[in-house]
Amino acid sequence: METTFIITIDGPAGSGKSSTAKAVAEKLEFLFLDSGALYRAITLAALEQNIDLHDPGQVKELAQSCKIDLRQVNRDLLVFLDDRDVTEHIRNPKVTRAIAPIAAMPEVREELVNRMREMAKEQSLVAEGRDMGSVVFQQADLKIYMQATIGERAHRRQQELKQKGIQVSLQDLEEEIARRDHSDANRAHGPLVKPQDALVLDTSSMTLEEQVDWVVAKARKRGAR
């Protein structure tokens, strides 16, 4: 059996990991595994079905029963929830605000971790999230931990939102990011941590292209083809 090559990229919100992981996956022709999209899809399903976000029983049942697919179409990663394209819906701020209790549930994490490991048996991938290197793919071929200052991360989010016609102040974004950092780092299950064997990439003053080249070079050095 051909073995797959696994790259993990973890880091806080706005550190640049999504764009980097996506571009690295494209260059190496690997799957981009956007793990946050899976947590977002379950949260969206829970909101739509009026499920109590704090009830582990109900949320677990939902997590086990819903179908989530990541499909690479041309240069885009599309997210399907029960065969419906929810790529845009899962980025809604309502979903972002509701995610914390769901991402903190061990029942949900266990379900998604199993699904992600199944995906990695079939294809090489770049997995991006919070616990990709520390929990989900502990045996990854290359682990990266990306970070950037909170000011720079808020600035990047502001630019992203601006492109979608949404104006948010830097101060509001910094506060939201600080809140997310806190809940990501302090939950009991799958918290954001830097894996001991990860290479640290501080992106505060790097361009996207520089970040991508850096990761691709490390991956090739370790045998990615």
The binding site for ligand DC (CB under 6 A) comprises 13, 35-36, 39-40, 99, 103, 129-131, 180, 184, 190
**CB neighbours of 107 closer than 8 A, spacing ≥ 6?**
56, 59, 60, 63
Nearer to ligand DC, 166 or 217 (CB): 166
Smallest separation, CB 17 to ligand DC (Å):
8
Under 8 Å between Cβ of 120 and 127: yes
Under 8 Å between Cβ of 23 and 87: no
Nearer to ligand DC, 35 or 147 (CB): 35
Nearer to ligand DC, 19 or 149 (CB): 19
Provide φ and ψ at 53, rounded to 5°: -65, -15
Nearer to ligand DC, 5 or 137 (CB): 137
Whether the CA torsion 66, 120, 25, 99 is positive or negative: it is positive
- Choose among 135, 138, 144: nearest CA to 106: 135
Smallest separation, CB 128 to ligand DC (Å):
7
Nearer to ligand DC, 28 or 176 (CB): 176
Smallest separation, CB 15 to ligand DC (Å):
10
Segment holding 107, helix H or strand E: helix 106-122
Q: Is 50 helix (H, G, I), strand (E, B) or coil?
A: coil
Structure tokens at 218: 């490390």
Nearer to ligand DC, 18 or 223 (CB): 18
Smallest separation, CB 2 to ligand DC (Å):
26
Helices 93-103 and 106-122: crossing angle in degrees, nearest 10, is 100
Smallest separation, CB 182 to ligand DC (Å):
11
Smallest separation, CB 101 to ligand DC (Å):
11
